[in-house]
Amino acid sequence: MNSITNVEKKIDVVVISTEGYLNKDLGESILVIAKEHIGEGFIKFLINLKDSNIVNSIGASIMIELIEELQDKDGALAFCSLAPIVEKTFTIMGLTKYCSTYESQEAALSAMA
């Protein structure tokens, strides 16, 4: 199943956790949730991909759309718990130039606070 498993607010950071294949559908679901929270004034987002160890370029390109949304609002997007091939994909595509990546959710929240 490819889905968002949890959305929670950790002070001013919205943490979105997923499971399964980060493809077009899951990417769009993340974008919809993020836009809803941007509408409420949140500008810091952490995507926890611990249970999504496979990605395609369409899902990743939708994350570029989210980077663009947040750039307009001086916001931040970060990822945590990436499988090596997911991190490599994000690096090749250049996402890691615009987003931080962290080994764990705890490390990410500590850095983003």
**Shortest approach of other proteins to residue 62 CB, angstroms?**
7
Q: Which residues bind other proteins (CB under 8 A)?
A: 21, 23, 54-58, 60-62, 64-65, 67-68, 71, 83-85, 88-89, 92-95, 97-98
Q: Which two tokens stand for residue 26?
A: 């899951």
Residue with Cβ nearer other proteins (4 or 54): 54
> What single DSSP character describes residue 55?
B
Helix axis angle for 84-93 and 57-71, nearest 10°, is 60
Residue with Cβ nearer other proteins (78 or 109): 78
Residue with Cβ nearer other proteins (71 or 104): 71
Measured from the Cβ of residue 57, the count of other Cβ atoms closer than 10 Å reads: 12
